[in-house]
Structures are given as C-alpha cells and as structure tokens.
Amino acid sequence: PCNLTGWWENDLGSKMQVFKVDNDGTFSGEYHTAVSSAKKPIQPSPLIGSQHLDEDGKCTFGFTVNWKKFSDSTAVFVGQCFKGDDGKEVLHTSWLLREKADSELDDWKATR
C-alpha cells in the first residue's frame, strides 16, 4: 500500500509533510503552500487527515488544512495514491478552499 509518511511536493512548489499514518489511517502533518492571496506572509499550516488503507496500493485519502497562521481560510483535499511505471508513488488531488464571507449574500463567492 501507499505510504503517505514523509515529504510531498506539487507542481506549484507547495510541500506537505505527513508525520505518521496510524494503523487506522489517521494522520497529521504540515502544509507549506507556495501560493496564497493572503496579505500576511505564508507560514507552514497544520493538517489532519485520513487514509483508506487498501491492500492493492491504490489508497484514497483526504485532509484538511487550517491556514490560521496567516489567513482566514480552510482547505480540504481529496485524492488517491498511484504507483508510476518507475515504481515511484504519486498523489493526485483535488481541493476546495473556503474563505470567510462578510455576509450570507457573499456566500456564493467564498468557495474556490
């Protein structure tokens, strides 16, 4: 099965460190984003998640990042781990980012 523990980097230069995946699939770590529209300097942000441990190695996972150190937003990521032809593990993810809305009328534009 895929081992999420360790450092991962995406095509935009953001990095994620997963500290340890427990036997039940839960994990924690830090996300070091390389992109942000926040006005404060970017800082590493805590993440918590869960991995579906599957014997065939095609494990799905999800995690939440709280950008509380420099932004008022929260992001959720879902994805799957694949083994490439070279044997290297690769993560494919999709994400949603939720920013604060000033009012209920602005709710429509608060999620990307």
CATH at residue 60: 2.40.128.30
Give the per-residue pLDDT at 55: 77
Residue 83: which domain range?
Answer: 6-102
> Is 110 contained in some domain?
no
> Is 108 contained in some domain?
no
**Taking residues 49-69, what's their average pLDDT?**
88
> How is residue 46 written in tokens?
């805590």
> Is 10 contained in some domain?
yes
Please check the confidence at residue 49 and state whether its pLDDT lies above 80: yes
Q: 97: Cβ–Cβ under 8 A, 6 or more apart, which residues?
A: 73, 74, 75, 111, 112
Q: How high is the mean pLDDT of the chain?
A: 91
> Is 73 contained in some domain?
yes
Give the chain's domain count.
Answer: 1
Q: Is 66 exposed, middle or buried (0-12, 13-18, 19+ CB in 10 A)?
A: middle
Cβ atoms of residues 97 and 75 within 8 Å: yes
Residue-wise pLDDT tens digits, 8-41: 999 999 999 999 999 999 999 999 998 888 888 8
**Taking residues 50-65, what's their average pLDDT?**
87
> Is 29 contained in some domain?
yes
